[in-house]
Structure 1
Amino acid sequence: MESSQGIFAQLADTVLFDYISNSILMVIGVCLISLLIGLPLAWLVAMCKFPGKRFFSWALVLPLAMPAYIVAYIYSDFFDYAGPVQIWLRNTFGWQSPADYWFFDIRSIPGASVILALVLYPYVYLFLRSAFAQNNLVQMQASRLLGDTPWQSFWRISIPQARGIIVASLALVGMETLADFATMHYFAINTMTTAVYDTWLGYYNLPAAAKLSVLMLAMIFLLLAIEKRQRIDKQNYSRNDSFDNSEMYQLSGGKAWLATGFASLVLFAGFILPSLVLCGFIFDYYDQVWSEEFIEYGSSSLFIALIAAVLAVIVALIINFGLRQSKQTNQLKHTWIQPLPGQLASMGYALPGTVLAIGIIIPMTALEFWSNDVLVEWFDWQPGLFLTGTTFAIIFAYVVRFSAIPIGSVQESMSKISPHLDHASRSMGAGFSKTALRIHLPLLKRILLTSGLLVFIESMKELPAALLLRPFGFETLATYVYQYVSDEQLEHASLAALSIVILGLIPLLIVNRMSQDSLQKKVNSNDSANHNN
């Protein structure tokens, strides 16, 4: 086996430039297409009235629940040379071979960019819908009085105000693109994340894969820094009045149906069509999809996701209770150390699954080797791979990656709990632990259940970390589906795939509902203030 230096040097001399350039091209392509889809949809839903607006306001987030590699399989099956679309074209026009006509190659960087954009544009849509809905009412009214058309108002007011939000949302899309493994691997597009996977399991060289992960981390942290930098712009919207429904642009005639048609086309391409195909597979292959394997792997996935969700919530409680206690005792007040544990624990969410797997497997393996040496020397007992050879590694990876969800949610909720409640509890002789148990936990019950549910569902969907860290012979629903996708036999795992999609809908609907409730409260507050005035 070649050394890590030799493998890495060989990659650097041959294909490393292609890995990096393909990754950059994918990020640019997916971000551009996501912006072209999400930006106009956000403007239409937030600022205009058209047929179906109420339905599309929540339905347009549904494609985010559809795993990209499932969409990639379905569309490649449709548009490949042997697919129904090209067969129909050849039969209709009498073409005999690929030399007789040109057709878009979906198994390419542009094709993969379209596929990923169809499932990632909701990031842009959700961010910008909230931003546009909170546009400064005074500026919008002034724009109308000056005779600006909706198009002019869009370019002169909405886009400049939302510039920071656009950058932040595209940074998230870029991070998701870099982290995507399954779609890139299925389309045979060599990016940094597939390079890590191939170097690890192809060359069996973990140190070389770790070096590639460092390069990938640099790209991720650059996007993460951009996203963090733009968050300050969000404060501009929270201080403004919500845009009143009466101020929306009323679309009519062809413009109204054009808006409805565009939203329908995007929703159909990103969610409805793939869902219908999966349902068709289930109907045609029912005897095969409802199998003992599906039940076994589904049960394993549920068990692991449940443990990961409980542990992630416990981690969030420990970190946030510790932060609150430190503030009350003034031990770390006004120092950079105070929020550091929560920030470090939240960074795992930005890591791609392949990189996270390497960051876990290397120290765990070293610990196992050291423990085996010590136990053999002292007790003549060798436990073997007691961490990486079990589901512990997968659960640990899930907790590291998804703890950011409950940490942020609990932190925001605890900030709204008045410190006077703590002081009153202490004045009655209750310590911090009893106060947390009797006051904080009941007040946090709803957010704990919600964030725990989000971690549970994200753990059910996670693929790269599970694919790299699973013990021999162990499968989750995600790895089970991907194995069939890789073998061009998705129909045999269509029920498992649809189960993942349905589970993925739950957090999307929760987040969308919370976002709409927040906006509605602002609208009601403004209406009440205007009525009083």
Structure 2
Amino acid sequence: MSTIALPSHFSATALRRALNGAPLWSVAVVVGVAALVLAPLVSLLHIAAQGEATLWAKLIADVLPAALLDTGMLLAGVAILAGTIGIGTAWLVTAHRFPGRDVLAWLLPLPLAVPTYITAYIYVEIFDAAGPVQMGLRGLMGWTSRADYWFPEIRSIYGCIFVMSAVLYPYVYIASRAMFLTQSASMIEVARTLGASRFKLFRVIAIPLARPALAVGLSLALLEALNDIGASEYLGVRTLTVSVFNTWLNRGSLAGAAQIACVMLAVVILLIMLERRGRRDRRYALSTRRPRTTQPVRLSAAGGWLAAVICAVPVLMGFILPLAFLIREVASGGLFAQLDEAFLTHLLTTIGLSGAATLTTLALGIVLVTASRLARTRLTRGALAVSGIGYAIPGTVLALGLLTPLVGIDSVIGGIWRWLTGQHLGLIIMGSAAGIVVAYVIRFLPIATGSISAGLDRVSPGLEDAGRILGAKPRELVLKIQIPLLRPALASAALLVFVDCIKELSATLLLRPLNTETLATLVYGHASRGAFEDGSLAALVIVLVGLVPVIQLVRSAEGRQTTRVSSASASVSS
């Protein structure tokens, strides 16, 4: 009987050569991670398709119109307000000198440390009818009821827009400031020579040149607003995220929740397309012949103090006021007594889940980036791109889509265990906190891969080439060259992922097992019962932990920008 010889390109040696020497297991991990990220989306579509036509018709008639209207108004409002605050303050602190400018440049990004849901809870406590602001106004003016005066309602779509913009504007500020600091001085000088005013410089030159950064910052802010569930629900805004939550848990309709989640995915895709369109064909670079950046202009006394007030208000509303409120509640309410065994258990649960997700995310990020770098093929590049969409998936949608895949994995594990021991094992992942870790890894893996990729881009290719010439294998290149040089990038990625895991509410709320609480769900539970002040200690811990990566991010960004500007100025003077 004759045998059929396979072509040589099917051999293992040819396959390894096609992968540029990258270990086969690393490429398999890359493909596996991409499949893990896609699995919730495929599962979500499958669950939605199982819903009856009458259910979809009911959702279109009763749920989706209001949800789409509120979501559209919220995203539009946050885009306008957060975009205006972010790009306006970035231009002021970059292009002008005024009292407190250097301090405000550091303070403006700090609201990122305060989660949107905590800010919403605090603002309701402060500005609601029973809060100190309205009570003080009634006592001062002699008003006896709400019928005697008008005050903005914080529990409304407009209150939600204000709260989210106060927290999310730093995404736009950081991206825009980085772009403004690198703009060439020659264009500004030519415009001034032609008689352009400062406002016209900002409107005609600065904003168009900062359009790519503005698109990136706004897309991140809007994705965070779409992902939020705590603030929207508490402020009475029926967004798509809240509708998924209510349809799934309160109405008991998994298929209906999946159908709404598919609509959310369509909104996410639309946001990503708008962000790509905003950056399309918009690339700018400093002149290599004259790398001189714009120098700030000193404002007049009145203009300088006005600019200082404009920049100080977002810091006050987005960071100082929430932080001061939490410190006051903890100190005046004697909440340090809550540092009992139960609170420490919740704290350790939070640290354990976040730590496990961080370590897993870093390990997968190293494998993904190094494998795609060693094996520069369409397969690895495509898998790396797919693994990067997790951050764009709202936590509520991700939790819903993970149900079927995780139960399927539990079934496979249970079947193997039953075959080996003859005993029933039960749910392993869905019955424990492992499902939360999986959701964290999928959602925050792009942060790790982005930091590691940026770190590797700064590593000279000559080091890797020298290692290959000396006979180093791919594993030795990674362990002895790349990882030691990646320590700063790995530390930064670990910090960002860890804190994002601590603040994550949506996925944690929906995937947690019974009697499992993190600091985020603890705060949410107290607020849902109308006793947010009892969760002030947990909220304060979340904010203080969140400050660490934000300060590190600002220090790193300001240091790089100062070095870049100083180098440019020194180049010109020499």
Fold shared per TM-score above 0.5: yes
Structure 2 length normalisation: TM-score? Answer: 0.86
- Answer yes or no: is 1:357 the counterpart of 2:399: yes
Deviation at 1:344, TM superposition (A): 1.1
Counterpart of 1:436 in structure 2: which amino acid? V
2:81 is matched by which residue type in structure 1? I
> Residue 89 of structure 2 aligns with which residue?
41
**Residue 299 of structure 1: aligned partner:** 348
Which of 430, 441, 460 matches 2:472? 430
* Distance in 1 (alpha carbons) for counterparts of 2:555 and 2:296: 21
Cα 1:233–1:181 shift into 2, 3 Å:
farther
Q: CA deviation at 1:373?
A: 6.3
- Cα distance in 2 between the residues matched to 1:374 and 1:11: 41
**2:330 aligned partner, one-letter code:** I
Q: Deviations over 1:192-246 (max 9, x none)?
A: 001111111112222221111111011011112222343456631566877656x
Q: 1:440 to 1:376 in 2, by over 3 A?
A: closer
C-alpha contact 1:4 1:205 (8 A) present in aligned 2 = no
Q: Residue 123 of structure 1 aligns with which residue?
A: 171
* Stretch of structure 1 that moved more, 192-201 or 78-87: 78-87
Contact kept, 8 Å, 1:65 with 1:502, in 2: the verdict is yes
Please report how far the alpha carbon of residue 292 of structure 1 lies from its aligned counterpart in structure 2 after TM superposition: 2.0
Query: Structure 2: how far apart are the matches of 1:376 and 1:188?
Result: 48
Aligned equivalent of 2:193: 145
Offset, 1:423: 2.8
What are the superposed Cα offsets for residues 99-137 of structure 1, whole Å, 9 maximum, x if unpaired? 333221110000110000000111111111112222221
CA distance in 1, matches of 2:287, 2:348: 47
TM-aligned CA distance change 1:374 to 1:412, over 3 Å:
closer
Question: Matched residue of 2:266: which SS?
Answer: helix
Once the two structures are TM-superposed, the CA of residue 10 in structure 1 deviates from its matched residue by 2.3
**Offset of residue 45 of structure 1:** 0.5
For 1:321 and 1:458, locate their aligned partners in 2 and report how far apart those are by CA, in whole Å.
24
- CA offsets, 1:357-376, max 9 Å, x none? 11212211234346556766
1:409/1:451 contact within 8 Å kept: yes
Number of aligned residue pairs? 522
Per-residue displacement from partner, 1:486-505 (whole Å, max 9, x unpaired)?
A: 22222222121111111111
SS in 1 for 2:486: helix
2: CA distance between counterparts of 1:485 and 1:148? 52
Give me the whole-angstrom Cα distance separating, in 2, the residues matched to 1:239 and 1:479.
Answer: 51
**In the TM superposition, what whole-angstrom CA distance separates every residue of 1:286-310 from its partner, at most 9, and x where no partner exists?**
3543222221111111111111111
Q: Report the CA distance shift for 1:233/1:243 in structure 2 as closer, same or farther (over 3 A).
A: farther
TM alignment of 1:161-310, pairs within 5 A: 161-231=209-279, 235-237=283-285, 244=293, 247-284=295-332, 285-310=334-359
Please list the CA deviations of residues 242-283 of structure 1 after superposition, one character each: whole Å capped at 9, or x if unmatched.
Answer: 7656x3221121111111112222211111111111001111
**Residue 320 (1) aligns with residue 369 (2):** yes
Gaps of 5+ in 2: 1-49
Matched letter for residue 24 of structure 1: G
Within 5 Å, which residues of 2 pair with 1:51-90?
51-90=99-138
Q: Return 5+ residue gaps in structure 1 as ranges.
A: none
**Letter of the structure 2 residue corresponding to residue 403 of structure 1:** L
Instruction: Please state how far the C-alpha of 1:18 moved relative to its aligned partner.
Output: 0.4
Partner residue in 2 for 1:510: 552
- Structure-2 change in CA distance of 1:529 and 1:238 (3 Å): closer
Residue 73 (structure 1) shift: 1.6
The answer as to whether partners of 2:184 and 2:286 remain within 8 angstroms in 1 is no
Indicate yes or no: 2:150 matched with 1:102: yes
2:571 is aligned with 1:529: yes
Residues 237 and 495 of structure 1: CA distance in aligned 2, closer, same or farther (over 3 Å):
farther
Deviates more, 1:346-355 or 1:227-236: 227-236
1:391 corresponds in structure 2 to 433
Q: Which residue of 1 aligns with 2:160?
A: 112
- Contact 1:242–1:522 (8 Å) recurs in 2: no
In structure 2, the CA distance between the partners of 1:237 and 1:493, relative to structure 1 (3 Å rule), is: farther
* Change beyond 3 A, Cα 1:186–1:104: same
Distance (whole Å) between structure 2 residues aligned to residue 56 and residue 267 of structure 1: 8
Do the aligned residues in 2 keep the contact of 1:70 with 1:485 (CA within 8 Å)? no
The residue type paired with residue 153 of structure 2 is D
**Letter aligned with residue 155 of structure 1:** R
Contact 1:288 1:492 in 2 (8 A): no
Q: Structure 1's 410 and 529: CA in aligned 2 closer, same or farther, altered over 3 A?
A: same
Displacement after TM superposition at 1:390 (Å)? 0.5
Aligned 8 A contact 1:78 1:84 in 2: yes
Kept after mapping to 1: 8 A contact 2:182/2:293: no
Tell me the equivalent position of 1:366.
408
Query: SS of 2:117's equivalent?
Result: helix
Q: Counterpart of 1:339 in 2: which secondary structure? A: helix
The 1-side partners of 2:531 and 2:317 are apart by 21
String of CA shifts for 1:332-359, please: whole Å, max 9, x gaps: 2xxx434112111111011111011112
Partner of 2:498: 456
Give the distance between the partners of 2:272 and 2:552, measured in 1 at CA.
25
Q: Distance in 2 between matches of 1:125 and 1:412?
A: 21
* 3-state SS of paired residue (1:15): helix
TM-score norm. by structure 1 comes to 0.93
The match for 1:346 is: 388
Q: How far apart in 2 are the matches of 1:242 and 1:513?
A: 23
2:537 corresponds to which residue?
Answer: 495
Does the Cα contact within 8 Å between 2:183 and 2:286 map onto a contact in 1?
no
The answer (yes or no) to whether the contact 2:336–2:537 under 8 Å persists in 1 is: no
Distance change (3 Å), C-alpha of 1:242 and 1:461: farther
Q: Deviations over 1:153-205 (max 9, x none)?
A: 22221122223332332222221111111001111211100111111111222
Identify the range of structure 1 (469-478 vs 287-296) with the bigger mean alpha-carbon deviation: 287-296
Q: Which residue of 2 aligns with 1:311?
A: 360
The separation in 2 between residues aligned to 1:188 and 1:288, in whole angstroms, is 32
| Contact kept? 1:106, 1:112, Cα under 8 Å | yes
**Deviation of 1:31 (Å):** 1.2
Q: CA deviation at 1:146?
A: 2.3
Does the Cα contact within 8 Å between 1:282 and 1:289 map onto a contact in 2?
A: no
Separation in structure 2 between the aligned mates of residue 311 and residue 412 of structure 1, nearest angstrom: 19
Q: Distance in 2 between matches of 1:43 and 1:425?
A: 46
RMSD: 2.1
Q: Which has the higher contact order (CA 8 A, sep 6+)?
A: 2
Is the contact between residue 242 and residue 523 of structure 1 (CA under 8 Å) also seen in structure 2? no
Call closer, same or farther: CA 1:340–1:439 in 2, change over 3 Å. Answer: same
Name the CA distance, whole Å, in 2 between partners of 1:423 and 1:100: 77
Distance 1:369 1:206, change over 3 A: farther
CA–CA separation in structure 1 for the residues paired with 2:433 and 2:526: 22
2:184 is aligned to 136
Write the deviation string for residues 367-401 of structure 1: whole angstroms up to 9, x where unpaired: 43465567668854221221111111011111111
One-letter amino acid matched to 1:425: G
